[in-house]
Every structure is written in structure tokens, then in C-alpha cells.
Amino acid sequence: MRRAIFPGSFDPITLGHYDIIERGIHLFDEIIIAIGSNAEKKYMFSEKQRKSFIEKAFKGEKKVKVDTYSGLTIDYCQKVNAQFILRGLRNPADFEFEKAIAHTNRKLSGIETVFLLTSSGKSYISSSIVRDVIRNGGDYTSLVPDTVKI
């Protein structure tokens, strides 16, 4: 079975994330959307809310599971027997950042990272932009799946 994890904080999940997951479904037998916990990060949405947003967005999709984890992503991959890490790339800066992490993960564990380019109409969307729109009372609904409700 080709199992991939798609790690992130998903604070909140965006249409960019959704795009990568939806396209990744065709590449893997199973995708585990892995919500990472980072003690140094201050989240807008609780872990429970973030998990609920994602579970509702992919309700009925048998190839998608949602879980939470802390610690190293490669340790979580080994725990759930995932052979791949799925990552989305929006721009060249994402590539440079993700490339270093992918090389490190492969060196430490042998786990391969698969990159998908975010669709051009969604490449400008980031969780931090969505949070800023929300904080300032803007209409965030065109940037996130319908399941993200404030």
C-alpha cells in the first residue's frame, strides 16, 4: 500500500491544502492528513477545530484519514508505516525551504517526499494570510473549504 502523510498545522486548512490533497488522492492508496503540534506556535484554531474542519472537508473520502501528532514527522511516518511525505509548493521560496527538509528526512529515514505544485489559482493562499483576513474581519470564505466556520 502506498501511504503518504500530508503534514502541517492547517491553521486553518486552505483551498491550497485542499487542492494538494485532492490531487494526491490519485497518487496514493491512502493519505493521512497529519496535524502537527508545535509548542512554539500560537494557533488561531484549536487542534480539535482544525481536525474537525479537515474531517468534514473530506467526509466520505475513504482514502483520506486525519490524525494529530507531535515530534518529528519521520517518526510519525514510521509509526503509521507511511513511505511518503506529500508536500505542496506555491513558489520558489517554498521549494528551497521544503527541499532542505526533504533531504534531511530522506537521509535520516529513507522516506521520500513527493512535491505537487499548487494550482495557479490557489498558489497565493496561505494559512497566515487567511488568519490575517479573519483577524481583520474580512471575508475569508473564498480562501478555505466550506467546512471552515468561525
* DSSP for the chain, written as a single string: --EEEEEE--TT--HHHHHHHHHHTTT-SEEEEEEEE-TTPPPSS-HHHHHHHHHHHTTT-TTEEEEEEES-HHHHHHHHT--EEEEEE-SHHHHHHHHHHHHHHHHHH--EEEEEEPPGGGTT--HHHHHHHHHTT---TTTS-TT---
Residue indicated by cell numbers 498558489: 123
CATH for the stretch 3-135: 3.40.50.620
Question: 95-111: per-residue pLDDT in tens?
Answer: 999 999 999 999 999 99
The yes-or-no verdict on residue 39 having pLDDT over 80 is no
> What is residue 11's predicted lDDT score, i.e. its pLDDT?
97
Distances (CA, A) of 138 to 54, 107, 133, 143, 148: 22, 43, 5, 11, 14
Read off the pLDDT band of 41 (50, 70, 90).
confident
> What is residue 149's predicted lDDT score, i.e. its pLDDT?
87
The yes-or-no verdict on residue 150 having pLDDT over 90 is no
| pTM of structure | 0.94
Read off the pLDDT band of 52 (50, 70, 90).
very high
The residues spanned by each domain of the chain are 3-135
Burial 98-133 (b: 16+ CB within 10 A, else e): beeebeebeeeeebebbebebeeebbebbbeebbeb
**Active site residue ranges:** 17, 41, 90, 127
Query: Per DSSP, what are the bridge partners of residue 30?
Result: 3
